[in-house]
Structure 1
Amino acid sequence: MAVPKRKTSKARRDKRRTAKCRMTIPATMECPQCHAAKRPHAVCGECGYYNGKEVITVE
C-alpha cells in the first residue's frame, strides 16, 4: 500500500486546491417569456415562469 513519506505542507496542499476553485462563468440563456437573462433549467427570477408555466408569483 502506498504511504506518503513526508507530510504535505500547507502551501503545497493549497496550491493544488486553487485549481479546483477556478470556476467558469455560469451559463445563461434568455427567458422566452420576459427575455431576461436566466440560468438554464431554472425558474426565471424576473417573471417566475419555467417551461412556459408560471411556477412562482413575482411581485
Structure 2
Amino acid sequence: DEKTPRHLSPPLTTSILPHMAMGQWAIEQLEAPAAPGRGRYPITKLECPLVERESVRAVAG
C-alpha cells in the first residue's frame, strides 16, 4: 500500500504486497534443486490484501 494512491482524488484502491514473503520465496527457489521434468519455478500464490478506497463502489442493479 503506497502513500501516493491515498492522496489522489479520488483515493485509489491498492493492494498490500508481501515484500518479505516474496523475497523469502525467491531465495528458497534459488536454493532449491530443480525438480526433474518440471519447470524451475512453481506457480505460487501469496496473499495480497486489497485496500479499498473511494475509487471503487458497488455496482448498481
* TM-score using structure 1 length: 0.24
Looking at secondary structure, tell me which structure has more strand per residue. Answer: 1
Which is bigger in relative contact order (C-alpha 8 A, separation at least 6)? 2
Looking at secondary structure, tell me which structure has more helix per residue. Answer: 2
Higher Cα Rg: structure 1 or 2? 1
* TM-score using structure 2 length: 0.23
